[in-house]
Structures are given as C-alpha cells and as structure tokens.
Amino acid sequence: MYFSNLTKISAAVTVLIGLSACGGGGSGAGTTATASSASVGAITGFGSVFVNGVEFDTAQANILIDGVPATEADLAVGMVAEIQGSDNGTTGAALSINVSDELEGVVQSNSIPAAGNTGTLVVMGQTITVNANTLFDSKVSGVTTIDQIAPGHIVEISGYSDGTGTAFATRVEVKAPDLATYLIDHADGVEVKGLVSTLDAAAQTFTIGSMPVSYAGAVVDSNVTLADNLYVEVKSVAGIDGTGTLVASKLELEDEGVKGRQGKENEELEMEGMISSAYDGSGFGIDGTSVLVTTTTELDGGATSSLLAGTKVEVEGTFNAQGQLVATKIGFEDEGDTELSGTVSNIVTTGVNSGTVTLQDGSVITITTSTIMKDSRNIGMVPDTRFNLQGLANGDFVDLHVFTDAATGNLVAVKLERDDA
C-alpha cells in the first residue's frame, strides 16, 4: 500500500480503518459498514476501488481529480486518493473520492540506470525516489520505461513528501515531451507543492526544496500571506528560466497552509507513509504529521531503532490537545525484496483481488487486497486499466515483487504486473 499527500479531512469524520485491513477480500456489493470512516492512500486495484486493503463500492461516490469532477474510469493505480464513506475493514462504500498529485513539472535529471526501476528523478527542485513498486505510465512516444525519462520531459508525480524537497513516488506518468507541448492542454502550467523557505519579500523570491521561485509577476491569492514554512502550491506557465529559477504565474495555499494532518483532540487517525524525520527518543515525523511514541505504543515488526527516515510504516493513533498523533500501534511495512517473472499456470480466487497465483516453475504467490495490480501489455493488446485478479488468465506472463511472510513462509505479492513475455 502506498500513501502520500495526506489532505485535511473533516474532523467530523472519525478514522477507524484497522491495520488488519491489509488482508482479506470480498466484493463491495451489499456492504454493511460498521462505522463512518476516512481513508487516504494510493489506489492499488479496481473492482470497485481498492485503497488501504479495503474494496470501496463507488456507485454513490462523488469523484474529483485535482478539484475537477471525474469518473471512476479516470482513476488509475498509484494515484493517491482520499475516500470518505464507511467500511467494515474489508469492504466499504465511498461517498466521495478526491485525488490530487504531488507534483507536475519539468524533469531536471534522472539517475535511474538503464533497464532499472530504482533511483531518483529531480523534478523542479524536488528529489523523487522511485522503486520497483512505483507505477509508471507514459503519453510520450518512445518513452516506455521509467529510466527513459529525460530532462525537459513533463511528468506527473503521485506520492507523498515531507514538503521540503523530497518525495516518494507511488506513480510517475510522463505527460509531454516538453513544456510547450504540455501547455497546449494545460493552460495553468506546471505546478509544485511545498513549504516556503528563504523568503525574500523585497526580491519577491523564495525556495521550495532546492527550487528557487520568483513570484514577482505572479497572481497571489488574497488569502496568502507569504512566510517561511507556509505550505503553498506554485503554478508556472514560463517554467524554469536561464538562471535556474521557477517563474511563478500563480500562488495558492495548499491544505490551509499547513503540511500534514492537524487533527482535533481525541480524533482518531490511521495513516501509512514514509518517515520524514527519524525517531528522536519521543517521536518522529511522517508526511508533516508529528507522531508521539509512548510506553504503551505497540510496535509490530520492528523497534524504535527502526524508525528511521525513509522507512515505510503504518500508524494508528489519536490526536492530543497539541495536535500530535499519539500512536497506539505502529506497523512496519514490507516493500518486497524479491522479483519474480513467469507464465501463470494456475489461479485460485477468493475475492475480486485476492487468492493465489502459481507460476510454471511451481512458485505459489499469495495475492491480497493490498497487492498493486497493473496491466502493462502492449504487443497486440490494449492494457486493461481496470485490471484485477479476475482478469488474469493461465498463460499470461507476469512480473511480481514479493516478500516471504514470516509467520506462514508464504510468498506474498506487493505488486503484480501483467506484461509482454
């Protein structure tokens, strides 16, 4: 599961998504939800929409992408979605689905090796980490793998960040070969979100990550009073000038100017993401949210010494009066350490997106409701954008990223991608 860009959800909604939601299956049809809930995370599959291991029925959902009305067909695996509705830990019903990206901008460099899938991209001063679980798509001819992204390309990044210039990508999509082409269909220009630093009001400049920004000619929303550490979105139609500065055309507040969740006292929250600031003896930071660790905090799969920057965790807790999330449980996520490929010889389904897949070499891999499902076939086939385990067939070729479950010894898929052999 992949989370990021945690946005503010109405405090009236109590977040009650159990950590156990990482497993299980079943259909969203006929769901009887036990509690109102909110869920924020990356979409891992469809049938209806899977987020955080829960299958959400979308029949009654109002769907927005970057504030624009959309349909389920516009959603894609790896997009970060905020779902409000109800669920019972396995299935649920979504009332609203809001999707927003982390960054849409000009690539400055690519350190991903040829034929590789792990490394970093620098996009408008933001360092973006990708790994084998990052989803990739491209609308640019000739760019078919993530290592082929070149400086000048325009990419959209879904994922989560600390707001200070580093982010982990759950999805990377190449949108256009250059800014001029991109602007034909995107009149508002490229955009980057982050915390203002090194503000110089006289020169009308500041920095986001390592990207100098000039707002001298920008339209600044009336509710924006610029200051260091203010969380903003910068839009630009001119891009990066000859001095390496992003020329802003518009400035807006993002999430009321505050990075991370600022819950009300006694509000419950469960979130998943990358640790942005390591454990300091009392707590740590995750996507801008301050997490406190107490003597009663349950640690599942690790210790406080493992709470390091860049570590993926799942946190369940309650906000205190100071707006800090007091953790009741912290689970350490397994990103998968083994890559497998092969032809499918047998499939057993226990739900829309759960069961087992057997390869011709005899390997048996467990598929859960949290497994990322992607169809990437190109030769003579049109990829199925709503791909799930029900659409897999014997004889299909798949690439898998798996880990070994310590309790059962079973291979469990973090990601299953149907591909050309």
Summarised one tens digit per residue, pLDDT across range 381-391 is 788 889 999 99
Instruction: Determine how many CB atoms are found less than 10 A away from the CB of residue 160.
Output: 27
Whether residue 320 has pLDDT greater than 50: yes
pLDDT band at 156 (very low <50, low <70, confident <90, very high): very high
Burial-class residue 331 by CB neighbours within 10 Å (0-12, 13-18, 19+): buried
Q: Which of 85-99, 152-166, 184-198 ranks highest by mean pLDDT?
A: 184-198
pLDDT band at 36 (very low <50, low <70, confident <90, very high): low
What are residue 305's phi and psi, to 5 degrees? -65, -15
Instruction: Return the CATH class of domain 338-419.
Output: mainly beta
Whether residue 127 has pLDDT greater than 80: yes
Into which CATH architecture does domain 268-332 fall? Beta Barrel (2.40)
Whether residue 359 has pLDDT greater than 90: yes
Q: What is the mean pLDDT of the chain?
A: 88
Window from 66-80, 285-299, 308-322, 330-344 with minimum mean pLDDT: 308-322
Q: What is the pLDDT of residue 381?
A: 76
Whether residue 58 has pLDDT greater than 70: yes
Q: What is the pLDDT of residue 37?
A: 60
pLDDT band at 261 (very low <50, low <70, confident <90, very high): confident
Window from 107-111, 258-262, 297-301 with minimum mean pLDDT: 258-262
Q: What is the pLDDT of residue 203?
A: 97
**268-332 against 338-419: fold identical:** yes
pLDDT band at 73 (very low <50, low <70, confident <90, very high): very high
Q: Quote the pTM value.
A: 0.86
Whether residue 350 has pLDDT greater than 60: yes
pLDDT band at 153 (very low <50, low <70, confident <90, very high): very high
- Domain boundaries along the sequence of the chain: 19-99, 103-256, 268-332, 338-419
Using CA of residue 169, residue 171, residue 174, residue 180, what is the dihedral sign?
negative
Give the separation between CA 311 and CA 305, rounded to whole angstroms: 11
